[in-house]
Amino acid sequence: MKSSQMKVSDIGEKQLIERIIEKSRTCSIHNPADFTDLDNKTSIGDDSALTNIDLKENSYLVSSSDMLIQSSHFPQDMTYFQMGYKSVVVNVSDLASMGADNIGFLLNIAIPKDTLIDDFDDLICGVIRACDDYHIPLIGGDTNEANEIILSGTAIGQVDKDKALMKYGFKEGDLVCITGELGLAALGFELLNMKQLLKNNLFEMVDLEDKINRAYEIDSTLCDMALFKALKPDARYNEGHILRELNTDENRITATDITDGLASEFYEILNSDKREYQFNINQPNNNQFNNDSNSSYSKGIRIYEDKLPVEDEFKEIANALGIDYLDLFLHVGEDFEFLFTMNKELKDQLENELNFYVIGEITEKNTVEIVLSNGTIEKISSKGYQHLK
Amino acid sequence: MKSSQMKVSDIGEKQLIERIIEKSRTCSIHNPADFTDLDNKTSIGDDSALTNIDLKENSYLVSSSDMLIQSSHFPQDMTYFQMGYKSVVVNVSDLASMGADNIGFLLNIAIPKDTLIDDFDDLICGVIRACDDYHIPLIGGDTNEANEIILSGTAIGQVDKDKALMKYGFKEGDLVCITGELGLAALGFELLNMKQLLKNNLFEMVDLEDKINRAYEIDSTLCDMALFKALKPDARYNEGHILRELNTDENRITATDITDGLASEFYEILNSDKREYQFNINQPNNNQFNNDSNSSYSKGIRIYEDKLPVEDEFKEIANALGIDYLDLFLHVGEDFEFLFTMNKELKDQLENELNFYVIGEITEKNTVEIVLSNGTIEKISSKGYQHLK
């Protein structure tokens, strides 16, 4: 049987694991000497992965686990390589936004049994390529059968205790910043959805086709970039390391990766601030973690439309597609840029090391608001993306 | 709306996470002081879990990740509590069979959106109860939507470098042992399947009903125990700790948990032995990990039917159900007992500390064989359970 016709059911679970081990040998970071040489031991194929780590004194073990499910997280146009790559990105992003150093990555894979071996290999190549890009060895996991592709990854790392980039710790007057342009991935998903609808003939095609064509006429490069960012996101690995170095007891930097939309992350960090306060005064109650807009916070966030890094072409394209560009910016995620806060005094120093945008500040008011270009002020609700709603 | 009618889609992902955090407070090991007190920090709700660990010198970080999928791993009669419990057991079992101390557990949960909140709560209670039973704090994870229940867990631990219970390291003449009776879970799954077929009217019912009734007539307690072991397996947590203490450079103990059937694990440990040899002479090749029966091993395994811990009633029940009892014993897994090997000289010492059964020995022959009660010797093939085949 030709390799290109073979399905995963032709070789079974154990041989799939062997394929993963073999493929991982091709990558520099996955040289067996790097992660399997345990003083002349190997844990490949054993019940658990053993990792020879030099956990620094005064450091935390950092772990994060995220599951991606084909029908929820992978647009139909996503390649197997891109799915594999993204499964690493989402987890590394969570570690990076704590300022952590990577230790290892475990991946549980579920795939339909009629998946082609070639597609499985592409998926694994995506995983290993991302592991290489983010300097994190693939150390374990398993394979299973399901009726859609499910990739559940766990990233393990470590961070110095006094350098960890928490979500809380900001003070009134701190600058609210992001590491890059937001909304591109959101625009990409919109374009992918529209193209899919067009392909499936589900709606009036002429209108939809006109909209897409108009978007490409405005700026085809921007449209292509949006598609690329939706299909192959990157984690802000270096950014996490740069921010943590400036993070001190005197000048706390806080950070989180933007996965569910900027607005949702605003409420996340306000909740985190509140939770930390309640944790320290030791008054937990059942409602302490509510993140609805009725909650009262001891701080607030104000951002400015004019400070958002948005090109005019982006606004025009959103307009042509019938979408409010601020919705793309605020209420859709998957950009994996960082939202971070810092003391004003750090701004000049950080500008030498990192590209970032100051978009607002921490206020004493119990609200999240945006000052629009026309001068009016609007409240920002928390409606980021939530599964299961 | 009454809580009992509420579905997970009524409250959404973030509130589900809060429910998990709240429920975890009810357990002794999950007292916030145990796992969230990071020198007056808390990482609850942050991008990653921070764990304040005291990683011992000369130890490995141990990690294992396993995914359970409803249609493959959960019989229809399994409760939500039991599903949650099992998701911890399968991962803790992998850590225990390395002799590791537990550090933390992360769980990614995917559930259909019409799942009742009460059922979700039961599932979480199962998870937390198991975390309590095995002294491993739940430190992270996420929730997602899928069309069936998927529980992907990751257990993290540590083990002294010279105490790790690898799969390899056995010598000719070493005893082959198991920690408990095998086949019970397998019998339980058979009974559950048969009852399900009966319920669904899929086959000639009279014959099937007769078989089940006959099994219960032979020994109803054994049948009930079999069902219980299939639905609520346990991990051999203490056994792993006892075995590792006796594990030294002079007298290597090897261990693995029996998940895919004893026969399959026999070939696993022979492959592991071979892999370690090739790893150390540094001659990797693409076929080194084949575990088919044509592979050549430098050692072999011989077990004896008369030494297997099997009650006569178990054989009779298998017979009544039309199953070869040796198939249940050798070729079906999910018992989570340990297969381990040790030097003969350790036997007396270990008998003071652990219940176990010596079922055979490591041979110099390149075969896996069983000496039957009638004196004939048969080869054991590797056909354990494999997904995706």
Q: What is the pLDDT of residues B127-177, one digit of tens each?
A: 999 999 999 999 998 899 999 999 999 999 999 999 999 999 999 999 999
Residues A316 and A212 in one domain: yes
Of B60, B94, B110, the CB nearest to A51: B60
Tell me whether residue B180 is in a domain.
yes
CB A164 within 8 A of CB A244: yes
Of A14, A22, A39, the CB nearest to B286: A22
> How many domains are there within chain A?
2
Residues B226 and B282 in one domain: yes
What is the C-alpha separation between A30 and A145, in angstroms, rounded? 26
pLDDT more than 90, % of chain A: 66
Q: How confident is the model at residue A286 (pLDDT cuts 50, 70, 90)?
A: very low
What is the C-alpha separation between B230 and B82, in angstroms, rounded? 10
Which residues on chain B are in Cβ contact (under 8 Å) with A14?
A: 291, 386
Give per-residue pLDDT as tens, A203-246: 567 788 899 999 999 999 999 999 999 999 999 999 999 999 99
Tell me whether residue B112 is in a domain.
yes
Q: What is the ipTM of this complex?
A: 0.88
Q: CA of B14: which chain A residue's CA is closest?
A: A386
Say yes or no to pLDDT of B214 above 50.
yes
Of A360-364, B8-12, B277-281, least confident by mean pLDDT is B277-281
Domain stops at, among B160, B183, B207: B160
Say yes or no to pLDDT of B361 above 70.
yes
Do the chains contact at B289 and A18, CB–CB below 8 Å?
yes
Of A36, A67, A272, the CB nearest to B144: A67
Q: CA of B336: which chain A residue's CA is closest?
A: A47
Do the chains contact at B65 and A152, CB–CB below 8 Å?
yes
B157 CA to chain A: closest CA distance, Å? 9
Residues A189 and A334 in one domain: yes
Domain of A281, CATH number, reads 3.90.650.10
What is the C-alpha separation between B291 and B268, in angstroms, rounded? 7
Which residues on chain A are in Cβ contact (under 8 Å) with B92?
A: none
Q: How confident is the model at residue B36 (pLDDT cuts 50, 70, 90)?
A: very low
Which residues on chain B are in Cβ contact (under 8 Å) with A50?
A: 60-62, 98, 159, 164
Do the chains contact at B13 and A389, CB–CB below 8 Å?
yes
Nearest-10 Cα torsion for B8, B11, B12, B14: -120
Residues B145 and B83 in one domain: yes
Tell me whether residue A169 is in a domain.
no
**Could you tell me whether strands B368-371 and B59-69 are parallel, antiparallel, or unpaired per DSSP bridges?**
unpaired
Do the chains contact at A52 and B32, CB–CB below 8 Å?
no
A157 CA to chain B: closest CA distance, Å? 9
For the ranges A2-16, A22-36, A323-337, B235-249, the one whose mean pLDDT is highest: B235-249
Interface test with A, best of B61, B267, B383 (most A CBs within 10 A): B61
Tell me whether residue B167 is in a domain.
no
Say yes or no to pLDDT of B276 above 90.
no
Say yes or no to pLDDT of B195 above 80.
yes
Of B50, B166, B387, the CB nearest to A46: B166
Do the chains contact at A69 and B44, CB–CB below 8 Å?
no
Which residues on chain A are in Cβ contact (under 8 Å) with B338?
A: none
Burial of B125 (0-12, 13-18, 19+ CB in 10 A): middle
Mean pLDDT of A158-181: 95
Do the chains contact at A50 and B284, CB–CB below 8 Å?
no
CB B85 within 8 A of CB B232: yes
Residues B131 and B23 in one domain: yes
Mean pLDDT of A190-214: 84
Of A113, A154, A280, the CB nearest to B65: A154
In this prediction the pTM is 0.90
Q: CA of B59: which chain A residue's CA is closest?
A: A52
Do the chains contact at B12 and A140, CB–CB below 8 Å?
no
Tell me whether residue A166 is in a domain.
no
Say yes or no to pLDDT of A31 above 80.
no
Using CA atoms, how far residue A155 sits from A62, A96, B16, B86, in Å, is 8, 10, 22, 22
How close are the terminal C-alpha atoms of chain B, in Å? 45
The residue among B382 and B343 whose pLDDT is bigger is B343
Residue B183's SS3 state is: coil
Q: How confident is the model at residue B375 (pLDDT cuts 50, 70, 90)?
A: very high
Give per-residue pLDDT as tens, A39-96: 556 777 788 888 877 777 788 999 999 999 999 899 888 999 999 999 999 999 999 9
Residues A205 and A129 in one domain: no
Residues B66 and B101 in one domain: yes
Instruction: Tell me the residue length of chain A.
Output: 389
- pLDDT for residue A291: 43
B109 CA to chain A: closest CA distance, Å? 8
Say yes or no to pLDDT of A6 above 60.
yes
Of B21, B45, B61, the CB nearest to A271: B45
Tell me whether residue A385 is in a domain.
no
User: Residue B211 half-sphere exposure, CB side, CA atoms within 13 Å?
Assistant: 20
CB A99 within 8 A of CB A255: yes
Give per-residue pLDDT as tens, B81-113: 999 999 999 999 999 999 999 999 999 999 999
Interface test with A, best of B67, B127, B139 (most A CBs within 10 A): B67
Q: CA of B16: which chain A residue's CA is closest?
A: A388
Query: Strands (DSSP E) along A231-335, which ranges?
Result: 254-257, 300-304
Residue with structure tokens 């979480």?
Answer: B124
- pLDDT for residue B230: 94
- Which domain, by its residues, includes B196? 175-379
Mean pLDDT of B217-240: 96
Which residues on chain A are in Cβ contact (under 8 Å) with B280?
A: 40
- pLDDT for residue A362: 98
Q: How confident is the model at residue A285 (pLDDT cuts 50, 70, 90)?
A: very low
pLDDT more than 70, % of chain B: 88
Give per-residue pLDDT as tens, A348-358: 999 999 999 99
B70 CA to chain A: closest CA distance, Å? 9
CA angle A322, A323, A326 (to 5 degrees): 150
Residues A331 and A372 in one domain: yes
Residues A239 and A375 in one domain: yes
The residue among A47 and A191 whose pLDDT is bigger is A191
Mean pLDDT of A277-290: 53
Which residues on chain A are in Cβ contact (under 8 Å) with B24?
A: none
Tell me whether residue B181 is in a domain.
yes
Domain stops at, among A128, A160, A192: A160
Indicate the average pLDDT of chain B.
87
- pLDDT for residue A43: 75
Mean pLDDT of B37-50: 72
Domain of B146, CATH number, reads 3.30.1330.10
Written as six digits, the tokens of A292 are 């609805």
Q: What backbone torsions phi and psi does residue A329 show, to the nearest 5 degrees? A: -75, -40
Give per-residue pLDDT as tens, A357-383: 999 999 998 999 999 999 999 999 887
Q: What is the CA radius of gyration of chain B?
A: 22
The residue among B96 and A293 whose pLDDT is bigger is B96
Do the chains contact at A63 and B51, CB–CB below 8 Å?
yes
Residues A179 and A150 in one domain: no
Q: What is the DSSP string of A20-60?
A: HHHHHTTSGGG-HHHHT-SSS---TTSSSEEE---PPTTEE
- pLDDT for residue A293: 42
Residues A81 and A215 in one domain: no
Tell me whether residue B274 is in a domain.
yes
Do the chains contact at A388 and B64, CB–CB below 8 Å?
no
Beta partners for residue B358, in sequence order = B177
A276 CA to chain B: closest CA distance, Å? 7
Residue B76's SS3 state is: coil
Q: CA of A146: which chain B residue's CA is closest?
A: B69
Do the chains contact at B67 and A110, CB–CB below 8 Å?
yes
Residues B210 and B74 in one domain: no
State how far Cα A222 lies from the chain centre. Answer: 21
Q: How many CB pairs under 8 A join A and B?
A: 279
Domain stops at, among B128, B160, B192: B160
What is the C-alpha separation between B256 and B339, in angstroms, rounded? 5
Say yes or no to pLDDT of A35 above 50.
no
Mean pLDDT of B30-53: 65
Give per-residue pLDDT as tens, A246-267: 999 999 999 999 998 999 999 9
